[in-house]
Amino acid sequence: MSSFATPEFLPFALDPIASHTGRVVVFNDADTPLPRAAKRADKLTRGAVARAVASAAFGKLKPGQGLVLNWPAGMQAEALQIIRLPRKPQPAELRKAGLSIGKAATESATLICLDALPPAQLVQAALLRAYQYQAQKSQPKPPFGAFQIMVKEADAASDACTGALARARAVHLTRDLVNAPANVLTTESFAAQIRDMAALGLEITILDEPALEQAGLRALLAVGQGSASPSKLAILHWKGAEGAPLAVVGKGVMFDTGGISLKPAAGMEEMTMDMGGAAVTVGLMQALAERRARANVVGLVGLVENMPDGTAQRPGDVVRSMKGDTIEVINTDAEGRLVLADVLWYAQQNFKPRAIIDLATLTGAIIIALGHDKAGVFSNDDALAAQFLRAAESVGEGAWRMPLGAAYDKQIDSRIADMKNTGGRPAGAITAAQFLQRFVEPDTPWMHLDIAGVALTKSDSAHAPKGASGWGVLALDALIVAEFESG
């Protein structure tokens, strides 16, 4: 796993502000008296903090942004970061402050003078933004230093951050999985990593190819039949409450060449991220287990590799799904929906969930529609979609509701089978979702999240440096807290 330094929670004191040798962070708003940490830093620097806060540059900052004084005179610190923050900040402002701290983090320890400010949102955001993936570097950079949090009540702050730390670790895990190259993270090594998560209290089941064949998941198996890596279905069950579970299904295409319908060479290296839905599902299940969520949630991830071997499925092949419907394969690069179709049906037949959510880096069309700031949300249930959109907004993860409708079914009707696996370029993300809906029982609340645009970004995203974002762990966890936890 990437370097993750658990924060230290310390009783608030003024003396460490002078003696700390790493970075020191204080807070203040414009045109307000200096809080006691900022006041001590101001005294040590002979008024530098007050002058900075009174400057036009500070006045132009938005809440959560800051100024940095490098090697401040009168202090041992290598840098003093002054962040603009109201005395009673909103959660989004605390997250922004944490992101500013995490982005500026170095290998030196960072002393954050929170005092009476609420810690959880800020600390979680700082840990998320300070993430760095260096597993493949022969000479990795030093990991970022510890965050030392000085607060009015250290024990209470530590307790308040338990969930935040579990979520941050889960997002780090998700990013590690998405960032990992396909020759390192294979269907077998991913399944082994999932199997080890039983130590957290998760019930783990791994179905191999003979078991998948026996269960009838032939659409999933068809995707991986050209690969030397065996296809698998991994099931992670957290039983933190009684009753029917929420089922979360993740697409786990470990590498996607497009199969016989081969992708262009340019950009194909990024197809290591085509297992992003599975990574989010696994990260979410870790978060639920670590924070001992009072919820019954089962995560299912279909693990395959789509390769153009002589045994690979061909355009024009017809495969029979677990449900029994036949699918004409028009394009072997529309493979993720074949995987999800079988896993969605398996989840419903074996777990009778109260609701089912799938995540997938499914279509390039969703990137054309929404870019890289929002995931596409498709649902047969208005209440579930609204609940998720509120949850995503509450944690700062972008999402947008997209339409479904019977009119789109015409695009995926097949002349020789029950359906086609693609309806062409028009409304490509919608017809993909419409395809998946055919594998959802009519009375089961269902939501499909197309995360192709948000799973891996080429510039900094809301919570992360460029690369894997871990989008979805926070939003789904917030949804479960709000709607699926008991007591």
Concatenated DSSP letters for 336-392? Answer: HHHHHHHHHHHHHHHH--SEEEEEE---SHHHHHHTTT-EEEEES-HHHHHHHHHHH
Alpha carbon 410 to its chain's center: 34
The residue with tokens 């002589």 is: 310
H helices, E strands: number in the chain: 17, 19
Q: What is the mean pLDDT of the chain?
A: 96
Residue range 391-405: mean pLDDT, rounded: 97
Locate 472 and state its tokens. 């979805």
- Cβ(303)–Cβ(190) below 8 Å: yes
User: Which residues have a catalytic role annotated?
Assistant: 263, 337
166-103-122-9 Cα dihedral, nearest 10 degrees: 70
pLDDT of residue 2: 62
pLDDT digits (tens, 9 = 90+) for 17-70: 999 999 999 999 988 999 999 999 999 999 999 999 999 999 999 999 999 999
Locate 79 and state its tokens. 């840098």
- What is d(CA 280, CA 167) in angstroms, rounded to the nearest whole number? 12
- Domains of the chain by start residue, with CATH: 8-153 (3.40.220.10), 166-484 (3.40.630.10)
The residue with tokens 């799938």 is: 358
**List of residues 6+ apart from 243 with CB closer than 8 A:** 296, 354, 486
- The answer to whether the pTM exceeds 0.75 is yes
pLDDT digits (tens, 9 = 90+) for 85-137: 999 999 999 999 999 999 999 999 999 999 999 999 999 999 999 999 999 99
pLDDT of residue 3: 63
Residue range 423-440: mean pLDDT, rounded: 97
Percent of the chain at pLDDT > 90 equals 95
